[in-house]
Chain A
Amino acid sequence: MSSLTATQRLALIREKGRPTVRDYIPALFNNFLELHGDRHFGDDAAIIGGIGMFDSSPVTVIAQVKGRNLDENKHSNFSMPHPEGYRKALRLAKQAEKFHRPVICLVDTPGAFCGIEAEKRGQGEAIARNLMEFMTLKTPIISIVLGEGGSGGALALAVCDELAMLENALYSVISPRGFASILWKDASRESEAAELMKITAEDLLRFGVCEHIIEEPEGGAHIDPGLTTENIAEYISEALPRLKAVPTEELLNRRYDKFRRIGVFAEESGI
């Protein structure tokens, strides 16, 4: 595995030809059918949801949509979902639970959209609801961070039994640029922030946030999208039967504990 810095990986995931879910979904799933809408407000193009087959196993797929060009990006709002996107995701997750289908979330977003309409329709509530509902969803959930895992907007699709990350993917509480501009009042210190924040797949493996790193071809996923897809498929075909074999109650306890353990603090006793 390559030993690139966070800044180098940041450049790699911004690479124009980096494959997106539009490349991965048809390559990974057979019979994929897209299902639209949150049944309340509308259909958010920043999140694609649907059903399909992975090998012989029916699955629900929920994916954040980066565009491959400006037109696609405009259509999918640069992969920044609105509340109705998260509510569509929740609707499809509950549907998956009903039919005992595992859920596979593909995470790739700079963050949830920040705008007037998003606030009016309850961006905060939509994300919060997903965190709570995914925590107790009675079916296996695998989340894979493909490129950018931006803050709560990513987490809303990443409460899961297992989190995998592509080798160069990053997952952070805020973008390095936002971090630098808020904490140091200087957005130009982006790269310094990227190194300090510990946001690479290896960092997150150490923190217990991520369970598995999926290898990318040398030079990044765009060098050989086919090989990257194979690596993702290899991971899913290993993880899916393993998680499906766990009894539901135990699965949910493990999921709870996975997040329950995360925290770094000191505790004085006897107070």
Chain B
Amino acid sequence: MALEDLFKVVKDRSMADTKPKTDTKQKKPARGVEIPKGLLFKCPRCGTVVYRDEFERSRSVCTACGYHSRINYRERLEMTADKDTFEELDAGLTSLNPIDFPGYEEKIEELQKSCGMKEAVVTGVCKIHRYKCVIGIMDSNFMMASMGSVVGEKITRAFEYATEHKLPVVLFTASGGARMQEGIISLMQMAKTSGAIARHSEAGQLYVTVMTDPTTGGVTASFASLGDIIIAEPKVLIGFAGRRVIEGTIKQKLPDDFQSAEFMLENGFVDMIVERRIMRPTLSKIFRTHGYTRTEEYRGGAAK
């Protein structure tokens, strides 16, 4: 473990210690008091409301229940990659409208502006504790990171690049599933990405999946489930079918922990649940065990 990560662990632990549950609950704003929405975060798992700055200081993890909430790709990159090591791949890919779905282009344009990204996944090369790897980060702010042509193509190219350059791949998955607005083309991306993973795997390279909130549908049923090692963040949603679809089929309400990371661990579909604060050292250990060597130059730890 690098020094800066150790420091962060200690710092986070001490922060957590000084903040007992009751403390956070006291911070619940009183009923009827108008507080601007942007200042608060309400945990979708346990309902605790905390001030946003405090929540963000804890890496967007609920201090009451440990739910690892959704973060955008920039935050993820900053807390994962060594500072200033990221070089983006295939940044120029944008969606077209294969089935002429009304309003699709406009929706994409809107999201490109509001999210500051061209599509729902960003891929590139970076270093994590000086281990060079290909990284992919899906951002659920962009159309719930559904997989259309661009997501499929970028992930496929990322694996092809990694195969060619003998690099491991780390994918942070998050997705509502296939992008229905692209019709059958979106379904085919499941096969395409899985094919590229097969080749990367046959070349003896390592693929680590980190399942983040939410990893569902066609992404669970393709590349997210194909890692040599599958990590999940605590309390995140992981599953194939939508909760409401299942409830509609069985005509009863599902338990709260159904399709959680913990549920998937218990049923044997993830290797481990890893907290954000120790993600970097965990990935670094995995790279080391697989015989990858560290690069010389070190520009410092994660930016965040």
Contacts and interface: CB of A to CB of B under 8 A. Distances in A.
B28 interface: no
B-side interface mostly: helix
A152 B96 contact: no
Interface in A162-210: 171-174, 179, 182-183, 196-199, 203-204, 207, 209
A259 B188 contact: yes
Interface string B157-193: 0000000000000000000001011111111111110
Interface in B69-103: 90-101
B184 A204 contact: yes
Contacts of B224: 124, 128
13 contacts: A114-B246, A116-B258, A119-B240, A124-B239, A129-B225, A129-B226, A155-B190, A172-B184, A179-B180, A183-B181, A207-B98, A256-B195, A268-B92
A162 to B, nearest CB: 14
Interface stretch (A23-31, A130-138, A231-239): A130-138
B196 to A, nearest CB: 8
Interface residues of A, number: 55
B222 A265 contact: no
A123 interface: yes
Interface string B216-233: 011011111110000000
Given A114-B249, A124-B220, A173-B183, A271 B191 contact: no
B41 interface: no
A19 B84 CA distance: 61
Contact of B190 (A120, A131, A271): A131
A152 B149 contact: no
Contacts of B218: 151-152, 173
Interface of A: 112, 114-116, 118-125, 127-129, 131-133, 135-136, 151-152, 155-156, 158-159, 171-174, 179, 182-183, 196-199, 203-204, 207, 209, 255-256, 259-260, 262-271
Interface stretch (B32-40, B125-133, B197-205): B197-205
B115 interface: no
Given A183-B180, A209-B188, A264-B182, A128 B225 contact: yes
Contact of B225 (A124, A174, A266): A124
A188 B189 CA distance: 28
B272 interface: no
B55 interface: no
Contacts of B187: 151-152, 155, 172-173
B111 interface: no
B99 A196 contact: yes
Those 5 A-B pairs whose CB atoms lie nearest each other, nearest first: A124-B220, A114-B241, A268-B92, A131-B194, A124-B240
